[in-house]
Structure 1
Amino acid sequence: MAYLKDVADIVMGQSPSGDRCYVTKRGLPLLNGPTEFGSHHPIPTQWTDDPKRQATQGDLLFCVRGSTTGRMNWADQDYAIGRGLAAIRHQSGEKFQPWIRGIIEAQLSGLLNAATGSTFPNVSKDQLHNLEVPDHSPFEQEEIASILGALDNKIELNRQTAATLEEMARALYRSWFVDFDPVKAKAEGLAPAFMDEATAALFPDRFGEGGLPEGWTAGTLGDLIEFNPRERITKGADVPYLDMKALPTSGMIADPAYQRTFTSGTKFREGDTLLARITPCLENGKTAMVDDLLGAEVGWGSTEFIVMRSKPGVPSALPYCVARDPDFRDEAIATMNGSSGRQRADAKSISQLKCAVPPVMVLTSFGQQTAPMIARIHAFGRENQTLAALRDTLLPKLMSGELRVGEAREQIEEVA
């Protein structure tokens, strides 16, 4: 019987002294735990010139302490690692790393159950060392790593592409409806950047009363967006459901809906934007645009959602871009009331926040330019859900030897 210690080196983190940690880029980037984890690689917020333990580029970063024990990321550079992390690397090189991750994922539930500390779980170096390793030859290890790595990389590439598309849509919203960049350019006698003549013609070349573009009106978000629209679901019916944890802190893709018997809750349709209204979810950015309700017209979810739906003539991208805009979020947070530990934003107050209301043709053009972006983002999200489910299916079978590499590649080709 072989163990993880026989094929991998494990470095347990050790935190540097507090006076040697900095928020400026001085020394090595420091990771204390999954707070800095991204979808694939960390995003450091601290640095230290006194690293006690280090992860090297390509290492698997594994959280060993607290409620997030078991979360993983890949090191895209060298890092100093604190007590909350371990760095794990295959002794034969980086190309085997996805196989190492597969070993850990296949045994993760047992590892977490064995973690010491009822309120503060802790995975020890010995526990990691003694994870059983399948009897795979180096060739099989590399082949399995290649399959798992390819799936992970495809999922990450889709995520990055979707993030870029979303950034473009949000930047367009900000430019047109908040900063009024096309109007400012035309007022200076310039052609608006990255805009064709037909679109540019929709914008005036001067500002009018109240500093708004000429022809635009002063209004509220309620003029453009319907908040918590009324829907009807029969009590006791099985209906697609989304809970709070399904909403991401960044990106518009929620976890898949699942059927649940309706009791009472917030109701929504595909294309609606869901905004978490409760502390700390609003501050953390939990938001999504509803995509797939399993063929149903109406779904339901947490009472802590605020539903934002485009009014007629308003593209569905606009409520989402509003919900993700930092100025809006600050104003939404300012509407929160209740006890300090359970504050909620108020939908009615949010609907009354001031905004510039553009002519219909400007809204139409915004919809025409953002609709293909939104469609592609949702397509990437659905593909990633399929790929993740396939990976979850293949992983235990590959590790146990139930499924051979060639058969796994055939299954992937059927999905691709």
Structure 2
Amino acid sequence: MARLSDFADIIMGQSPSGVRCYSVEKGLPLLNGPTEFRSNHPLPAQWTDDPKRIACAGDLLFCVRGSTTGRMNWADQDYAIGRGLAAIRHRSGSIFQAWIRGVIEIRLPDLLISATGSTFPNVSKDQLYSLDVPDHSLNEQREIAAILGVLDEKIEVNRKASTTLEEMARALYRSWFVDFDPVWAKLEGRRPAHMNAATAALFSDSFNDTGLPLLWRDGVLADLIEFNPKERLAKGASAPYFDMKALPTSGMTADAPILREFASGTKFRAMDTLLARITPCLENGKTAMIDNLGEHDVAWGSTEFIVMRAKEGTPASLPYCVARDQAFRKEAIATMTGSSGRQRADSERISGMAAAIPDPAILTAFGDATMPMIFKIHQFGRESRSLASLRDTLLPRLMSGELRVGEARELVDEVA
């Protein structure tokens, strides 16, 4: 049996001096751990002009400390890495990187068992280097990496397309309901951008005394959104369950639910928006619009979810766009009460937040414009979950030699 040290180089992170770390772009982006990780590539929040260890574009970023040991991301550029991370690269080039990741995924349970630490695990360079890896030839490694890479790339393409569509929907929400761009355009004698004549005609060309567009009224979010709607679910009934980990910090697609007997918790349906209300999940952005349920299914989850459901006449896209809006989240965070380590946002105070209420025809037009985007995002999410499931199925069989590369390629070609 070969070892990871036979094929890979590992660079253990080292943190720069705190006085050489910045919250603005100065030097290299700095990664300290999985707080910067996203679904595929990290999103840096710090920079340093005194990097001690550097991960290069294409490296596998691996968390080596704490409760998140084992989480991985790909480096999409050069990064300075702190002591919570290691950068792992195949000596024969980037085309083998997907094989490296697959090997580590297979061996991760054993690695975590061997990790040291009284409270949280810590993985050393020697432990990583000593990982047993399949005795594949370089050609076999390349072929396996290509198969895994096709699946990973398709999932990433879906993620990027979903991100673009979501950004469009959220930008439209802010333009129409917060900044009132169509009204300002007509007031200034311009045609509203990216809008047909019929939709533009729904907007007035002036504002009333309260600063709202003419014919709009002052209201609250509860006029448009039902918060924590009542649902029936018998105790002990088996129903789809979503835990807090299922909600993403960005994007609207939650992980697939698991079936669990209902005990107590928040209940919701497909197309509801879930907003995490507890520290630090609200600050981190944990939110989702639930899509992977049947039309009549009632699901349940954490009591720390706030359910936001579109009222009649309001499109389901609007509660989600509200929940992702930065101004809304800032106000929601301000409603938090409780001890410093366990604060919760107040759903009643959130439901009473001020909202501009338009003519119903504008809500309908917003739905016509955004709901096709939402349905496409949900389609991408379902496809990506299927691809990820296929990858999880193929990976151990490829690594063990149970499944031949040619057979795996045929399966992948059918779906990707």
Q: TM-score range by the shorter chain?
A: over 0.9
CA pair 30-337 structure 1, distance change in 2 beyond 3 A: closer
Deviation at 1:29, TM superposition (A): 2.2
Deviation at 1:295, TM superposition (A): 5.9
Give 1:155's aligned residue. Answer: 155
User: 3-state DSSP class of the match of 2:355?
Assistant: strand
Cα deviations across residues 11-32 of structure 1 (Å, max 9, x unaligned)?
1122222233233333322222
2:302 is equivalent to residue 307 of structure 1: no
Give 1:395's aligned residue. Answer: 395
CA pair 306-25 structure 1, distance change in 2 beyond 3 A: closer
Cα deviations across residues 365-390 of structure 1 (Å, max 9, x unaligned)?
00001111000000111111111111
Give 1:90's aligned residue. Answer: 90
Deviation at 1:354, TM superposition (A): 1.0
2:202 is equivalent to residue 217 of structure 1: no
Q: CA RMSD in A?
A: 1.4
Give 1:55's aligned residue. Answer: 55
Aligned partners of 1:39, 1:84: CA distance in 2, in Å?
18
Cα deviations across residues 29-76 of structure 1 (Å, max 9, x unaligned)?
222222222222222222223222222221111111111111111112
User: 3-state DSSP class of the match of 1:29?
Assistant: strand
Aligned partners of 1:16, 1:331: CA distance in 2, in Å?
35
Aligned partners of 1:83, 1:344: CA distance in 2, in Å?
32
> How many residue pairs were aligned?
416
Deviation at 1:294, TM superposition (A): 4.8
Deviation at 1:296, TM superposition (A): 4.3
Aligned partners of 2:235, 2:63: CA distance in 1, in Å?
42
Question: Aligned runs of 1:117-196 on 2, under 5 Å?
Answer: 117-196=117-196
Aligned partners of 2:282, 2:27: CA distance in 1, in Å?
34
Deviates more, 1:298-307 or 1:154-163: 298-307
Aligned partners of 2:167, 2:362: CA distance in 1, in Å?
20
User: 3-state DSSP class of the match of 2:206?
Assistant: coil
Write out the 4+ residue segments of structure 1 that deviate beyond 4 Å after TM superposition: none
2:278 is equivalent to residue 272 of structure 1: no
Aligned partners of 1:258, 1:96: CA distance in 2, in Å?
34
User: 3-state DSSP class of the match of 1:210?
Assistant: coil
Deviates more, 1:20-29 or 1:236-245: 20-29
Deviation at 1:139, TM superposition (A): 1.2
1:231–1:267 Cα contact (<8 Å) kept? yes
User: 3-state DSSP class of the match of 2:210?
Assistant: helix
Aligned partners of 1:107, 1:154: CA distance in 2, in Å?
24
> Which amino acid is 2:121 matched to?
P
Cα deviations across residues 317-357 of structure 1 (Å, max 9, x unaligned)?
01111111111111112222223222222222111111110
2:83 is equivalent to residue 77 of structure 1: no
Aligned partners of 2:331, 2:272: CA distance in 1, in Å?
20
TM-score by length of 1: 0.97
Deviation at 1:413, TM superposition (A): 2.8
Aligned partners of 1:342, 1:33: CA distance in 2, in Å?
23
Deviation at 1:109, TM superposition (A): 0.7
Question: Aligned runs of 1:318-357 on 2, under 5 Å?
Answer: 318-357=318-357
2:7 is equivalent to residue 4 of structure 1: no
> Which amino acid is 1:34 matched to?
P
Paired-residue identity, %: 72
Give 2:23's aligned residue. Answer: 23
Give 2:283's aligned residue. Answer: 283
Cα deviations across residues 154-186 of structure 1 (Å, max 9, x unaligned)?
111111110110110000000000100000110
Deviation at 1:118, TM superposition (A): 2.7
2:202–2:362 Cα contact (<8 Å) kept? yes
CA pair 245-189 structure 1, distance change in 2 beyond 3 A: same
User: 3-state DSSP class of the match of 2:66?
Assistant: coil
> Which amino acid is 2:262 matched to?
F
Deviation at 1:138, TM superposition (A): 1.4
> Which amino acid is 2:252 matched to?
M
> Which amino acid is 1:242 matched to?
F
TM-score by length of 2: 0.97
User: 3-state DSSP class of the match of 1:271?
Assistant: coil
Cα deviations across residues 284-306 of structure 1 (Å, max 9, x unaligned)?
21111111225643111111111
CA pair 341-83 structure 1, distance change in 2 beyond 3 A: closer
Cα deviations across residues 243-294 of structure 1 (Å, max 9, x unaligned)?
2221111111111122111122211111111111122221221111111225
Deviates more, 1:210-219 or 1:259-268: 259-268
Aligned partners of 2:295, 2:212: CA distance in 1, in Å?
42
Aligned partners of 2:147, 2:190: CA distance in 1, in Å?
52
User: 3-state DSSP class of the match of 1:25?
Assistant: coil
> Which amino acid is 1:153 matched to?
E
Aligned partners of 1:321, 1:412: CA distance in 2, in Å?
35
Cα deviations across residues 173-222 of structure 1 (Å, max 9, x unaligned)?
00000100000110111111111111110100000130110011111111
Deviates more, 1:43-52 or 1:180-189: 43-52
Give 1:405's aligned residue. Answer: 405
Give 2:373's aligned residue. Answer: 373
> Which amino acid is 2:314 matched to?
V
* Gapped regions of structure 1 (runs ≥ 5): none
Question: Aligned runs of 1:32-71 on 2, under 5 Å?
Answer: 32-71=32-71
Aligned partners of 2:275, 2:75: CA distance in 1, in Å?
32
Give 1:227's aligned residue. Answer: 227
2:270–2:295 Cα contact (<8 Å) kept? no
2:224–2:310 Cα contact (<8 Å) kept? yes
Give 1:244's aligned residue. Answer: 244
1:239–1:296 Cα contact (<8 Å) kept? no
Cα deviations across residues 216-244 of structure 1 (Å, max 9, x unaligned)?
11111111111111111122211111122
CA pair 348-380 structure 1, distance change in 2 beyond 3 A: same
Give 1:104's aligned residue. Answer: 104
1:276–1:304 Cα contact (<8 Å) kept? yes
> Which amino acid is 2:318 matched to?
L
